[in-house]
A = this chain, B = another copy of it.
Amino acid sequence: MNILLTNDDGIHAEGLWALKKALSGKHTTTVVAPDMERSAVGHSITLIHPLRVNRIQTNGGWGHAVSGTPADCVKLAVLEILETRPDMVVSGINPGPNVGINLNYSGTVSAAKEAVLMGIPAIAISQNRNPDNEYGVAANFVGILIAKITENGLPAGTFLNVNIPACPRDEIEGIRITRQGISRLKEIFYRRTDPRSQTYYWQGSETQFFDHDPDTDGAVLCRNYISITPVQCDMTDYQAIEHLKSWDIHLNV
């Protein structure tokens, strides 16, 4: 298969090249990734600036470095850079989990979503922080998932968001199909004063709160399971449609 690899940590990030190494035996892989870290850019795309693409060598391989966001990378790869439309897009491996409401902010996840919006199956893969930044288990697991997707197919408009727990391989308890939870970072703004005595705010976060619900992405990850969440692009709240129809809204008060 032709597989497009991207991420939000930038083209030099280790996790991206661990994927390239693990998948290149069986597949043709192409790296098109941001030229620098673009964490938390969500589904941002670049409209008011031009984009540059440089083919560079890093981590022992060649890739296309794009001066844009993960979603830009996927669009540009499919529409301009690649000669053949990719059969699949893999985004990651992100160092740190992408669970709960953080899916909204994650560039890793948005790259996979962009692929699905373009009609290409996709996986977003994240590794909960482990001491050695060891990506081998995650990278090999993506290979297993690619085979399963090829065999079974995914619903149109849906991709897989995968998180690998922060433990050695032999301590992984198993694999769980999960729903997106509501775990979130406790957000804080550090209010400080610059050398010119002007106030600035720097956004940070404290400990991540995971759900109590045991079937969510964050909760199974904490119990050393691999979490696989099917994520859909349709944002409609169908249950609310009937509720709203009963409101009897008019243009005149």
Contacts and interface: CB of A to CB of B under 8 A. Distances in A.
B235 A232 contact: yes
A197 interface: no
Given A37-B48, A46-B203, A177-B244, A230 B236 contact: yes
B45 A45 contact: no
Interface string A176-195: 01011000100111011010
Contacts of A84: none
A174 B152 CA distance: 44
B110 A236 contact: no
Q: A-B pairs with the 5 shortest C-beta distances?
A: A42-B43, A230-B240, A232-B237, A50-B200, A230-B237
Given A41-B41, A230-B237, 10 more contacts: A40-B47, A45-B105, A47-B203, A50-B201, A53-B201, A75-B187, A104-B117, A148-B247, A230-B243, A232-B240
